[in-house]
Amino acid sequence: METDGAYLLREHTGTSGLEQTVRSAVAILADHDIPHLIAGGLAVQEHGYFRVTLDADIIVPDVLEAVEWLTADLAGPFRVVPGIADTVCDRRNGVQINFLPAGRALRAKCKVPFPEPIVVAEVPRFVTLAQLISLKLDSWSTNPNWRLKDKADVIELIKALKLPRDLTVDEPVRHHYVETWDALQAEQ
């Protein structure tokens, strides 16, 4: 569901606390001219595969700046999670937001960097489907036993959306996408 380039959180998915948290966070980011993109499980939902997710992953140009602005108001809803510099927690509902660094990969072994958000918006904006699948496959391929849900998300998105074999995913994970797509076709 897209409106003027900005996605809207899908309603009635059982994630109302998450929705409240994300909408509050992106409004604060917009107030401080910080562009954002949402990735992770929430983006999986937004792109058409409904699954439970308990936190939000938000890509920003400067993680520490985003954390600073969200937690600047001591009476506001957000507080820093002790010992985790890139994560804040919403006092109202316990939902955590993990901030991810634009232009950088998640871990040293990862080859797909997070996309650069360029639009400042008061509504949630999401990574594209191809970006999401690229990030999910990269995360899974570098840590397959711990990130199995990432591979499952890709499989479910391929099935639910009937994605084409030639979807334009990032080159470092292209072979993983094609292998997954081919394996799903062989099992039909």
**Tens-place pLDDT, residues 94-142:** 999 999 999 999 888 999 999 999 999 999 999 999 999 999 999 999 9
Residue 4 predicted with pLDDT over 70: no
Does 3 score more than 50 pLDDT?
no
Give the pLDDT score at 25. Answer: 98
Structure tokens at 122: 């008061």
Q: How confident is the model at residue 15 (pLDDT cuts 50, 70, 90)?
A: low
Rounded to two decimals, the pTM is 0.90
Q: What's the mean per-residue pLDDT of the chain?
A: 92
Please check whether residue 34 is in contact with residue 116, taking contact to mean a CB–CB distance below 8 angstroms. Answer: no
* Residue at token pair 């602005």: 69
Sheet containing 78-80: which strands, arranged edge to edge?
Answer: 37-39, 55-60, 96-101, 87-90, 78-80
Domains parsed from the chain with CATH numbers? 2-127 (3.30.460), 132-186 (no CATH)
- Which residues are CB-neighbours of 22 under 8 A, at least 6 positions away? 9, 38, 42, 56, 58, 97, 124
Helix (H/G/I), strand (E/B), else coil: 135? helix
Tens-place pLDDT, residues 142-186: 999 999 999 999 999 999 999 999 999 999 999 999 999 999 999
